[in-house]
Amino acid sequence: MLSGKTVMVTGASQGVGRGLALAAASAGASVVITARNIDAAEGVAAEIRALGAHAIALRCDVTERAEVEAAVAVTLDRFGQLDALVHNATSRFSGRGAQLQNVTDEDWNDQVAVGLRAAFHCAQAAFPALSRVAGSFIILVSNAGIEGSLPLPVYSAIKGAQRGLVKSLAREWGPAGIRVNAIAPVAMTPAMGKFFDAQPEMRDYIKSGAALRRVGEPQADVGPVLNFLIGPNSAFITGQTILVNGGATMV
C-alpha cells in the first residue's frame, strides 16, 4: 500500500509510535524514526531494517523548531521526498492523573509544548515537502479530547485542541492536495502499563468500556488505519478523527 512512500513518525521509539512505524514499514514505506532517545529510536529502525525495509533514526526534540526542521531536511536528503508526517510524540506528564488544582505549571507547559507547539513546528516544517506530493499530515489524538477524562484534564484539553488544528489545517491545505487527519487510539503502551500499575482498577474499567472488551495493539490494530490514511484508498478523507478504540467511544 505504501511502496515508494516516505513516512516520518515522531516519538516512535516505543509504544504506539513504534507500532505505527513498523506497520508503515510492513506496508512498503521508508520510515524515519524520531525521538529524544536516539538509542531507542535506532533500535526501532534496526527492527525495520531487519524486515527488509528502509529506516533511519534521528534524534529530535519536537519542542525545538530547529530540530524538527533539521529532521525534515535529513529526510529529504536521504529519501528525496516526505509523503507523510505523523505527530505521535507525547509529554512525559501525559499519563499522570491529577485533578486540575494539583496540576503544576511544569506539567501544563510541557504538555502544551509537546502536544501543540510541536504540532505547529511539524506542520510548518513539513508543509513544503507535503505540498509537492499531495501528502498527509496525521496527529495522534485521544478519546480524552472528545469526551474528556476525569483524571487527565490537561491531556484532554491538549488533545481537543489538536483536533481543532487538524480541522483547520485540512481546510487550509486542502487546495494544495494535502490531507490532514487524526487517529484516536486505545492501545497498550509502556505509558499505559505504568498508568494501570498506578491505578489497577482502570485496566478493567477501560476493557469493560470497549465493545470488543480489549485494549488494542499499536501495530496490529492502529497501524492499518495509519496506512489507510496515508495510502491512496483514503484520497477523499480529510479533517477527520478516526477512532480506533474497540468501541470505547462512539460518535
CATH of the domain at 172: 3.40.50.720
Mean model confidence pLDDT for the chain:
95
Residue 157, in any domain of the structure: yes
Residue 100, in any domain of the structure: yes
Sign of the CA dihedral running 63, 67, 142, 49:
negative
Report yes or no: 20 and 185 within 8 Å, Cβ to Cβ: no
Per-residue pLDDT, 128: 98
Per-residue pLDDT, 59: 98
Residue 98, in any domain of the structure: yes
36 has a pLDDT exceeding 90:
yes
Catalytic positions: 155
| Dihedral angle over CA of 21, 184, 181, 81, nearest 10 | -10
Choose among 93, 92, 56: nearest CA to 71.
56
Give the C-alpha separation, 86 to 180, whole Å.
10
Residue 218, in any domain of the structure: yes
Give the C-alpha separation, 153 to 79, whole Å.
40
Residue 1, in any domain of the structure: no
195 has a pLDDT exceeding 80:
no
DSSP state of 80: S
Residue 151 binned pLDDT confidence (cut-offs 50, 70, 90): confident
Q: Which domain holds residue 36?
A: 6-244
Q: How many domains does the chain have?
A: 1
Residue 203 binned pLDDT confidence (cut-offs 50, 70, 90): confident
170 has a pLDDT exceeding 90:
yes
Residue 249, in any domain of the structure: no
Residue 30 binned pLDDT confidence (cut-offs 50, 70, 90): very high
